[in-house]
Each structure stands twice: as structure tokens, then as C-alpha cells.
Structure 1
Amino acid sequence: MASSSSSPKQYDAFISHRGPDVKATLAKQLYKLLQERGCRAFLDREEIEGGESITSAIENAIRSSVVQIAIFSKGYAHSSWCLEELVLMLDQQPDALFIPVFYDVQPWELRHMDNKDSQYAAEFCNHQSKARYLDKLEKWKEALKSASNISGYEQREHKYNLCEEIVSRVLEEMRRRKPLHVAKYPVGLAQQVRVFEDSLSKTVKDTVTIAGIFGLGGSGKTTLATELFNKKRSGYKGACFLFDVRVSDLRSLQSQLFKDLFHEDRKFDSIAEGIGHLEHRLGRARDLRFLIVLDDIDHRDQLDDLLPAAMLSSGNLVIITTRNQSLLAGADICHRMKKMNFDHSRTLFCSHARPDPPTSYEKLVERFVEFCGGLPLALKVLGSHVYGKGELFWELELEKVRKIQPNDIMQRLRTSFDSLDREEKQIFIDIACFFNKIEIYDLKSKAIIIWKASGWSNAEHALQILQDRCLLESVEYGRFEMHDHLRDLGRQISADELSPRRLWQPELLGPMEAKGFQQILAETNGGRCFHSFRDSSLGMSITFFIAETDLLWLEMNEDGEPFMNIPSWIPLRKLHWLYIRSVRELWSTFQQQLQTYNQATFQLTRLSIRNCYYLQKLPDLIEMFTHLEELNISNSIYSTDITSLVQSLGRLSKLRSLSLACTNLEFSEKLDLSKGNVDSSTSSRMDSLETIHPSW
């Protein structure tokens, strides 16, 4: 059997079925839906490439799948192919998830072979009477019996969403089993894993093990823990990796634990409530084994809040990374991250600086490697900083970094920071204080808009510079990521010297939250502040970004009854990004502020109105947002002819994207955007409009 750690998964799902029974119905529907959701599924022989053996191709597909689905129809046991597939699928557990689907049969029919009412019993009698497969019948019976005892799905006439339920479970399993990214150049990692596993193998089998990984920041603790997590997770019923515990909200981490281990979404009002629920569920799951990684622990209370007593039993494995060895006093294993040896250090440095340096660079490479002292982060950052440069630059850079205290990691990293221009520094500090490793939809676009609104016009270029110099590890659609030490460096610089000041500390924002959003607007005092919280006085969730004295980004979400309007005390004049959900009447606050400010001062570039069922019209006021580039309206009872609607937006010359998902929206044949206008009868021009997404 090929394990998930030794063989890459070629398929996401394998569907075992008897073609004459379900191929044209359930199997095909399920296959199509899986494909539409981005899952590579194996349905039948059509998946087999030319020249490939049918038997070996099916076996390889089963062994390589993350999820295996068996559709038990009335004729399933008639097929020796299906029964052989079933045996092989069950052999893959726990490396793959097995999902039984009972289609016009009951689970009891698979295990009661002596019952005359069972179609499966009849099929086995038929095999036996014809003296077919006699050496395999018992093995098949055992497989059917095992499958019947596994929780699955039953097709009933009222079960219209069966395929959706199955696909949702497949997607969740794929997400749970998807390997975490480890490192671009995992130099020396295999050796670290072997040392750790040697220590782990010496503990008593099947007893709970708390394994600690400690060392200097930037020494590779998280990298090692991630590799171990990917390698071992398939051997546990549930697995959860909690990143950045030191700077994260513990209630959110408790919710993530609950979701990853028990597949349930839970929100806790207090840490004590979270501990209680975890204790209760773990007490009911003592026969299950879990793998948990707590990354970057810096306080004993974090262990107590995330590791209830019930977790410390039943053969669970808990891996902890920390900079503080004293927190591992009760651990079964304590693994110190050692410095990289010279050969590994040289390989890592050259991977980032110059993979095959000429002979003339050898001495410089040696001096850089010696200076970095075996610290992976220093090797990576300094190697990237001299990438593509000549010998003279290398010489000067080496002399420059030698002036910084060699044992002070922050000062070493400060060299890369000092090479940035002012805009790049400010954007680096913003990411370090506000955006590092948080998940927000379309975060990159929102951040770039905020930075440009702050006068930093080269934001996209700055992000590329930060990535090139490894001050920013990745920039994705909804996430920025930098190393913990770089984050700490940025926050320290912000606190000590860089203006404007950033407000990100929980101890500052907590008391401000209690006062509400209106008071936060009054207390930023010329600083920059990004935060998300629920304002109890407004009864909604607020996400905002304030730069100096201007509110630039505002999201208001109400999951209950829709609220009436944006409060008049919220300043809208410099707002660039507005996302609002469940509002009855949006425009009067803008209209009121128009009486104070000239319309040209409104800077809004993105406007999204979601789930506003009671918002019935777009008034002429929309034409005042002359900087608007994107307008998205969904789930609004908006009844009009689309031609007149687009004509009313004709003054928005910068509008690039228009999305209208509204009920009762009619369409006119006059609509023609290809020429940059609405129709020949109007002079309204929307020259910048690139996309329009109406609701059909």
C-alpha cells in the first residue's frame, strides 16, 4: 500500500460504481460536480490513458486518491470489478477517506448475507452456484460488512442535494489533507526530521507525547513543525496547525481547533467557554487520535487555554514551537534547533544569492556564510539582497553588515530594511503591524488602494521590492506573509522611530473597542490604525483603516436585521473602499455630508453593497462618486431597465467594473458597451468600463 507521505496524490477522488445501475444518474452527476469544483476525479475507464493496463490504472487511481466513494447500488455485488475495488479502497484507510453511498439499498443488505430479501445475498449465491470467485467470496463479504458500518449517505426520493453534500465533504477533506507550504529551498530539513523522529520513536508507543521545538527566532522551528505535520497527519483522525499563537486571539484559535478536529463551526464568547466545549467533546472522543501543532508559544496560559486536560490522553501528538525553553518543562521531547552546518549554510545562501558562483566569489561566499552563523533567516535575507549584484557590491554589503552586532538578529535584518526608500519602508511597517498572515478577501487590492490614498503611488512596485529582498515571503489574493522576526523588526521600528505611529497593540485596541467605533475615530490622534471588531452599540461588525485623520477603508456587516443607514458621524469624505451589508437606506448620510463638503472631495473608488434586500434604488447621488472604479450590488430588490441604469452612471468615467446581481432587473437590447457608450441616443460615456456582470 502506498502511503500519502510516500506517494503524491494523482486524483482527489475515486468513484466506485456499477455502470448499468448509476453511471448515467448519480455517478455522472457526482463526477461532473466534483470536476466543476476543481477536483480531479476518477470515474471509469475513460480516465485511462492509451497503452495503460486497465487493472493497474484502476489500482493506481485508488491508491493515489484522497477520497474514495463507493456507490452501493442493487447490482454492485454482481460486479467482481466493484468488489475488488472495494477491498483495495478499504485497504487505504486511514491514508484516504472512504465514503459509502447507499443507492436504493439499505446498509443492512451488505452485511446480512443470509437474508433472502437482500439483493447482495442473492448475488453471492449466484457467484457460489456458478463456482465463480470462490477464493474471494469471504474477503468480499468482509469488505461489504466493514463498509456498511461506516457512516455515509443514503439516496432517498426527497434527498435532492445528495451530490452537494458529498462534494462538500470531499472539499473539506481535501482542505484538511492539503499539505502546508514548507520552504522554497528546504536545505537540511530531512536531517532535522530524522533527528526529531529518532527522539519520537524512543517514547512509549501509543502514549500522549508533547514534543517541543525551541530555538532562536529564524532558526527554522516553524519549518520543521510544518514538515512533520505534513508527514504525520494522515496517521491521525484529526489534525490542526495553529500558527502564530503568540500574537493571535485565543478564542479564534479555540474555534479553529474545534473546526479542524470535529468539523464543526463554533464561536466562543470567552476562553473559559472554549475550554469547556473542547473538554466536553474530547471526553466523548477518547478513542480518536489527534495531531496538533501550536506554533510560537510564549506564555504558559496559552498552553492551558489550547490544551485542555482531556487532550493529554489517547495517544495524541502535540508539537509546540517556542523561543522560550522553560515553557517545555513538561514535554516528553525537547528538540533544539541547531545552527546549520557550513555545507548546508553555503547551499542555502547560494540558492538565494547565486546558485553556481564563480571561483572568484568563493571567499566572499565563505565570509557571508560565516557571518550568518548558521541562521537560516539571515542566510536567506542576505543571499537575496546580493542576488544579481557584482563582486564590489558583495564586498561593500559584507562590510556594511559587519558593523551590526552579529548576535542581534533584528539589527541584521535592519540592513535590508535600511535599503528601502521611504514608501517601501512605510508599506513594510503597515504589513508588519496590520496585515501579516491575516486572511481577508481581496486584501492585496484593498491594501494597495489604502497605500495610494496615503500618497504612496508606487505600492505595487514596493510589494515586488519587498518580495525580491525576502522582506515579504508571499503576496496572495487575500494574504500577505512575512517571517516573524521581520514582523517584530517592523513593529519595533514603528514604536521607536518611524512616523506616523501605528496602533496595532491588543492592549491599546481592547479598551478602544469597549468605547465603540465613534470613540476610536476620535482617539487615533494622527496615527494609522487597522482593526476588526464588533461594535455592540451599532450592533454590527466593523472593519476599518484610518490613516492619520482620514477614514480610508470601511466594512460594515450586519447578520441579523438590516440597519437603517451609515451613522452621520462617520466621515465619508476621504473614504476609498466601502463594503456594506444589510442596509435599508444608504444615501442620506452621503447627502448630508455633501452639504458640508464639495462633491469633488468624495474619493470613493470601490463600493460593494451586499445582501441589501430592502435597498430599492440607486439615486442620482451615485453620479457624485466621480472616482468610482468598481460598483458591486447584490441581492437588492432593484427594478429598472438596465439601459437607464447604466445611463444614470454615465458620468462615472473611471468606472471599470459594474456588477449587478439584483432581482427584477430587466435588460434592453440597446445596451452596447463595445463602443464605450450606452446607445446612440445618449452622450453618456463610460470609456473605462471593462466588465459588466448583470443578473440573469
Structure 2
Amino acid sequence: MECKSSCVSKDLVGINSPIEALQNHLLLDSIDGVRAIGICGMGGIGKTTLAMVLYDQISHRFSASCFIDDISKIYRLHDGPLDAQKQILLQTLGIEHHQICNRYSLFYRKAFKLEKTISSNYQNLAYEILNYAKGLPLAIKVLGSFLFGRNVTECKSALARLRQIPDKDVMDVLQLSFDGLEETEKEIFLHIACFFNSWSENYVNNILNCCGFYVDIGLRVLIDKSLISINYSEIKMHYLLEELGRKIVQENSSKEQRKWSRLWSKKQLYNVAMESMEKHVEAIVLNDEVDYKERVYWNVEHLSKMSSLRLLIIKYGWNILPCSLSNELRYLEWYRYPFKYLPSSFHANELVQLILNWSNIKQLWKNKKVL
């Protein structure tokens, strides 16, 4: 069946090289037989688009052909394998005309509808949009569609809003990769998204191991699923995936029964205190540098109520005044700890690592302590 797809975009950018690589792997001109090829990567980078363009170019060489762009969706929303089989039969046997027309993870010039250049008034804005999307084709397409026809002021306002409320279509695509993880892998992903993006691999591995995660296996899974990468010994996560992780945590904290499992900002500390939800907090990493005049002094009772806290890292100008620490703590790192002793009520039975650089500590406890 000759492919007569009219929905493949004619203005794709950078498509020729990966298409040529795929054709070389298929060895279409060398031997007979059945061949399969996989295209892997995180949601939105253009896997479906590559497959569709390749199909468009080679399907005419076969007596029958079929293209289904979202088999997982068919399984979820229709009759599972039966519905997929029906589509294959319809396309390959020609029982019914079934033109291939699919949605693309895909860059169209939606925002400006131009082939070459844009006006100087929009030049800086275009750079901001591309910087926000961080090279993700799906994000560029969705943002471009949203911003089309708006003036510079409206575009800037819309982009500022999108940074606060990520576009739902983009997040839905990215979340597919997250939903396929096991629970431990999800926890590692969320820890990296909330706290550890662009941190040293060895440093993060040590923290996560102290917290009881199987980090060697977990990180390998995240790398294989293109949810993170390791560059120059640093853990890197795409900006939009970081937004996804934080969005998941914040959504879990926005219902009637808020959990606030992870905290990474002054505002979140205040929200937890206002709602008296300290008991659900499992991890705090306060890494943002705070101006001397804005140093945070947190009421002693709030930290004392965090009975489930397993990870606590405090850096820079944060000053939290504790009367107790969670006995569930496994990793405690507190730069410039302001006191001479740890709280006497703190029983470090679960503690794996303690780091108190540049602190005022004289000895761990004022009185004798049985460990």
C-alpha cells in the first residue's frame, strides 16, 4: 500500500541526519528478513516524528504498510490489543481508506509563521522562548501556538505566566515517562527534581544511599529512560522535567489533605507552619543563598514537629532554631550550625551521616548519650 500521507510537515528542522541514520540501521537494500528498530528518549523530543517521516519515505517499497503512532493510548482508552489489530488490518489490507494523520512531538513555526527571520522586536523574545523550552520540540510547538498573534508585551506576559504554570499539554507528555517508573525510582526522580539538579553525582549518590534508596539501580533506570543524564560528573535534568517533578510534589500538597513531603523554599516553610502540616515533611533542602538581612529564623516548634523528617540540608544564610530533631533523620548536613550542642532529645538511631561544616559545635551532646 503506497503511503499518501499529507500530514508530515515540510518545514522540519534537523531531520535529515537522524532519518539517514535510521535507514542505515534498517539495511533495507542488503538482506531480506524481518527487522525491528527502537527509538528511545524522553517524551517530546521527536521520536514519533522521526518514525513517521521514515515511514513516509520507505512505506511505498512494501506491498502493505501500517503506521500507529500511540499504541499505549489505544490500549488504555479502547479495546486493548483487539483495537490495535483492527487498525493493522484496516491499513494493511485496505479494507477501509485510512489516511495517516497524527499529532507530532514537533516543531512548526507556530509563533511567527515565517520561513527565515523574524522582526527585531521579537528577536529577544524568541531567544527567551527557546531558552524556556530548552530544545524540546514539543515545548516549542505548544508555546509557539499559544503565542501566535500576540504582541511583544502580551507574549512576555504569557511567557512569565507559563514559567509559573507550565503548559498542561507539555507536562502530560512528559509525565508519561514518570508514570512508568517504580515507586523507588519515582522518589529518586522527585528528589532530583526538587533538590539536586546539576549537583555532583557522587555527592547526590551518597545522600540518596544514606536515605535508603537503591541509587545505583535507580539512577541507571532514570538515565535509560532519558529522565536524567550525567555530564561532567554532574546529574542533569531537563528544565521542564524539573518543573514536572516539582509540579507533582506541589499538586500532592494542594489538595484538602496536604502532605508537603519535600520543602525547598522559604515560602513552603511558612505554608507548612501556617497549616500545621509539619508531620508529613520527609525532606528539606534549603540551598538558596539568603541575604544577611533576610536570614530566616524559624520558630523552634515547627522543626520539632517534623517527626517523619529523614533528610535535612541547610546551607548559606538560613538560621533555624531547633529544640529537637526528628529521630528518623538519616542524613543531616547543616552549614554554620549556630549552637554548641545537638538537641538533647535527638536520638540518632537512624543517622547515617552528619556534616556540620563551619559550625559552632563543641561536642555532639551536652550530656552523655548512649548510641
TM superposition score normalised by structure 2: 0.46
TM superposition score normalised by structure 1: 0.27
Max Rg structure: 1
Q: Of Structure 1 and Structure 2, which has the larger fraction of its residues in strand?
A: 1
Bigger RCO of structures 1 and 2 (CA < 8 A, at least 6 apart): 2
